[in-house]
Amino acid sequence: MATEVLMPQMGESIAEGTITRWLVKVGDRVDRDQPLFEISTDKVDAEIPSPESGVLLEVRSDEGDTVAVNEVVALIGAEGESPAGPPAEEHLPAEPAAAGDAEAAAREEEAPTAPAAVAGSGSSAVSEEAERVRTASSPVVRKIAAEHGIDLKEVSGTGIHGRVTKRDILAFVEGAAGDRAAAAVPSTTEIVAPAPQRPLPTGFYVPPYVEGERVEIEPMSRIRQITAAHMTYSKATSAHVTTVFHMDLSKVWAQRNRAKDGFLRAHGTKLTFMPFIFKAVATALKAHRKLNAAIDGTDVVYKKDINIGMAVALDWGLLVPVIRNADSLNLVGLARAANDLADRARAKKLSPDELKGGTFTITNPGVFGSLFGMPIINQPQVAILGLGAIEKRPVVTTDKDGNDSIVIKPMSYFAITYDHRLVDGADADHFMNHVKRTLVEESWSELDAF
């Protein structure tokens, strides 16, 4: 008997997933736990393994389809086995009426409509229609429709069996916004000067290309859409301010270079610069709680746990897995946690829970050669630290007698972007000075054994 492959539940808040790529074709043999297809959700991209060994008999959802959790997307069985029947009872076509019922059905169609006072039949029709809409869309789709006042009966579904997918409803919303903008344009050619300082209309839109222009158009990936929405929301929510510090990493550089080979042999993981920075930041967050907080209306929510998000750049987008309770970990624990999360992010093995709950984020564009950047705050946090490239640079130093000299030191620009609704410049500077002192003064004695 064929085994059903279901769209998995990837987290408590996940109601659906989009199939981005099938990794095998119908007729291919697969092993148990072999990656079968890739999905993208509101939280994470992941490879979904095969529940059984066998042959992929049937694929019921194509690439690009958004499917509700626990819905059957494929069948796996023995070679030569026929696929099972229709995927679900609600998708069965109506059975043809028996010959004896045909005339009754015709008479029923010709009969006058029952008056509105007959509540029983009206309620039944309404219930049936509501159930049709419910079964033809996911909770996420229905939520978006409710937020924009859209009747799902007006939306054409492109999913399996006419299901209205998230892509369908978002396209409908965008189209409705465009229609409203077009309707707002006066039909007359007369130009009327606007009142001074009139705000832009909500439907303001600049076309991304003009007719006849040579372009190539492809849909955004799910993770790209989510990133775009999140970043736009953050810029509209927080009052972003950035300050930059020039950090001396001489001691960190020396300790890492001395201990990295022995560290790898002893612990089976690489010692990069990041664990040192995580440690310095976690220590500073304990002393400066404003930077480890969130804003809820007119209330400030101070987080008691220090959970550091680390941005990981991937070929298909950006993920921010979280190192939980970072202040309780030593360099070994931080190195293991960071390397494990980064490796599994690249392999699409993270769970949604590993991408939430962060209280402060660190991003490292310096690994690509950037001197520094001004990152956007990862909501609902109030600060994010951007790391620049670590390079040897000439620096002026002063000895105890007041004599200046130029020396070569490994230096890096650290840029912190903070939400000025809560964090003042002095708060951010005190925090950064704490990080700076730790990097310069910490002995890192736990590396003495290497």
Q: Is residue 440 part of a domain?
A: yes
Q: Is residue 99 part of a domain?
A: no
User: What phi and psi values does residue 411 have, to the nearest 5 degrees?
Assistant: -125, 160
Q: What is the CATH number of the domain that holds 417?
A: 3.30.559.10
Angle between helices 425-441 and 250-267 (to 10 degrees): 60
Decide if 285 contacts 384 (C-beta within 8 A). no
Q: Output the pLDDT for position 136.
A: 57
Q: Is residue 245 part of a domain?
A: yes
Q: Which of 81, 113, 132 is the C-terminal boundary of a domain?
A: 81
247: β partners: 412
Q: Which of 81, 114, 134 is the C-terminal boundary of a domain?
A: 81
Which sequence positions are flagged as catalytic? Answer: 420, 424
Q: Is residue 231 part of a domain?
A: no
Nearest 5°: the CA angle 2, 92, 172 is: 105
Q: Is residue 191 part of a domain?
A: no
Q: Output the pLDDT for position 196.
A: 55
- Number of structural domains (the chain) is 2
Q: Is residue 129 part of a domain?
A: no
List C-alpha distances in Å: 159 to 65, 67, 103, 172, 382: 6, 8, 36, 14, 39
Residue type at 443?
A: S
**What CA–CA distance (Å, rounded) separates 248 from 441?**
10
Q: Which of 81, 112, 136 is the C-terminal boundary of a domain?
A: 81
* Structure-token pair, residue 70: 């626990």
Q: Is residue 152 part of a domain?
A: no
Tens of pLDDT along the chain (450 residues)? Answer: 789 999 887 665 567 888 888 999 999 999 988 989 988 876 677 888 899 899 999 999 988 888 888 899 999 988 777 765 554 444 434 444 444 444 444 444 444 443 333 334 444 444 555 555 544 566 667 778 887 888 877 887 776 556 677 777 788 887 765 555 455 544 444 555 555 555 555 667 888 999 899 999 998 887 888 889 999 999 999 999 999 999 999 999 999 999 999 999 999 999 999 999 999 999 999 999 999 999 999 999 999 999 999 999 888 788 899 999 999 999 999 999 999 999 999 988 888 889 889 999 999 999 999 999 999 999 999 999 999 999 999 999 999 999 999 999 999 999 999 999 999 999 999 999 999 999 999 999 999 888
* Structure-token pair, residue 213: 């222009």
Q: Is residue 127 part of a domain?
A: no
| Residue 308 structural domain | 239-447
> Which residues in 221-235 are b (16+ Cβ under 10 Å) and which e?
ebbebbbeeebeebe
Decide if 76 contacts 54 (C-beta within 8 A). yes
